[in-house]
Structure 1
Amino acid sequence: MTARSARLWHGLTAVVAIAALVLQLVLVLQGGRVLDETEQPGLAVRLGRLVSYFTIQSNVLVAVVTVQLARDPLRDGSLWRVLRLAAVVGITVTGVVHFVLLRPLLDLDGADWLADKLLHMVVPVLAVVGWAVFGPRPRIGWREIGWALCWPLAWTVWTLVVGALTGWYPYPFLDPREEHGPAGVAVAVAGITVFFLLLFALARYVDRQARPTPRR
């Protein structure tokens, strides 16, 4: 794949991710729903909850790295490799968990429906296809995996602590009241952690086995 093709794809992904994030932010500012929330807390609380969603954080990471890749599709660097890997695996988990666990719980329409589909389906597909086809690779080693894993682990611990203190959880599978107590939450967290590890291992395998790309 050529660098020009890579720039175009990464640029498209960045535009869609940024547009989806802006749309969701506008909806929250206007009092729109986020996932399955039904209450209307104050603006500061709504904004705090918005940035607490793994969905939002993974889409932000995708936007950041694809903007950089649109400028330089051969971008490299120690920190950048970690961010790129975290973005790809994080947005994959976002898409899969939404499709399997959250989609059946939602009943959205209009702009809320559009934001939901962009953040949970369109951006994940664009990001994963972009990484698989355009890379850049090779970029993934065990060191990058170790550092990239720190983000979802830290997010999980922070979310559970805040939830225990405030009673609010961004996703129902992390809420002991929804998952038949702490044991149910532990099972859900363990399952998602294993899924993360499998995705990291798969990403490393593809990164090492596939042809280096893009070409200059």
Structure 2
Amino acid sequence: MRPRWPLHDRAVPVVAWRVVILLGALLAEGWNIVNMVRSGEPPTEHFAYFTVQANILVIVLMLWMLGTREEHRPRWFDHVRGAITAYIVLAGIVYAVLLAKPDEVWSWTVDFTNAAQHRFVPWMVGLDWLLVPTARRIRVSRAAWWMAYPVAYLVAAWLRGGLVDGWFPYPFLDPGEHGGWAGLVGPTGQVLLAFLIGIMLVAVIGRLRYRATDSAGPSPSLASSPSSTSSRPYSNSSA
């Protein structure tokens, strides 16, 4: 039997890494909320940004992983972890490619919340996924369900902007920026395609990392008590 991969769920470096992610995400969003109150930005706009939502999901994920042992998490947890990893990493990529001003992409003069939510947190979470294997093999076909949240976000943003208050969180969702609703097919389709490819890539990496590190089978504690897991379950800094 191969020796256990050192970067497992309870390894001190992994726990420390996840604490740093949690504190960074909490501090960035807390700072955002202070700026929101000071500037008078409506909360209904601030919390409508995909990046903000994805960072909040990261906070929940880190709390869950730090507070609950691997064997006590539900069987579908690894898919939740993979989906949130894909959302936050892709949010950072989409921001850099489509939303950031050209001088912002590689600049280190951007404000803290921008850097944290679009750079540090996405890549730290991505590295966590790459280096810390899942508890169970990811079924790549099931990762298609990870697209449900981005699609629901898209529909909700269009319904709000088209029927409620005319506000869209991003230019690629705004028909006024593209000559009408038909003009959104290209930019929105590109983003959705990027998400689909990114999600599948994250899922494949998760599956390969599992097989590369735990191919000898589950740990004795998991093997001896299978029922223990199966029964328990834009330009502003907010973009």
| Structure-1-length-normalised TM-score | 0.82
Match for residue 87 of structure 1?
Answer: 84
Q: Deviations over 1:179-201 (max 9, x none)?
A: 23223312122111111111121
Match for residue 66 of structure 1?
Answer: 62
Q: Using the alignment, how far apart are the partners of 2:142 and 2:20 within structure 1?
A: 26
Q: Using the alignment, how far apart are the partners of 1:59 and 1:130 within structure 2?
A: 15
Displacement after TM superposition at 1:164 (Å): 0.7
| Structure-2-length-normalised TM-score | 0.75
Q: How many residues align?
A: 201
* Cα 1:139/1:15, change in 2 over 3 Å: farther
Displacement after TM superposition at 1:58 (Å): 0.5
Match for residue 31 of structure 2?
Answer: 23
Displacement after TM superposition at 1:203 (Å): 1.7
Match for residue 45 of structure 2?
Answer: 49
* Cα 1:202/1:178, change in 2 over 3 Å: same
Q: Using the alignment, how far apart are the partners of 2:33 and 2:179 within structure 1?
A: 32
Residue 6 of structure 1 pairs with residue 14 of structure 2: yes
* Cα 1:130/1:199, change in 2 over 3 Å: same
Match for residue 115 of structure 2?
Answer: 117
Match for residue 204 of structure 1?
Answer: 203
CA contact (8 A) 1:137 1:212 kept: no
Q: Bigger radius of gyration, 1 or 2?
A: 2
Match for residue 147 of structure 1?
Answer: 145
Q: What is the identity, as a one-letter code, of the residue corresponding to 2:46?
A: L
Q: Using the alignment, how far apart are the partners of 2:19 and 2:98 within structure 1?
A: 30
CA contact (8 A) 1:136 1:212 kept: no
Displacement after TM superposition at 1:77 (Å): 1.7
Displacement after TM superposition at 1:139 (Å): 4.8
Higher helix share: 1
Q: What is the identity, as a one-letter code, of the residue corresponding to 1:8?
A: A
Q: Using the alignment, how far apart are the partners of 1:155 and 1:212 within structure 2?
A: 35
Match for residue 34 of structure 1?
Answer: none
Q: Deviations over 1:70-118 (max 9, x none)?
A: 33463642453343122101001110011011111898xxx98221111
In the TM superposition, structure 1's runs of 4+ consecutive aligned residues that sit over 6 Å from their partners are none
Match for residue 133 of structure 1?
Answer: 131
- Secondary structure, counterpart of 1:30 in structure 2: helix
CA RMSD after TM alignment: 2.6
Q: What is the identity, as a one-letter code, of the residue corresponding to 1:4?
A: V
Displacement after TM superposition at 1:124 (Å): 0.6
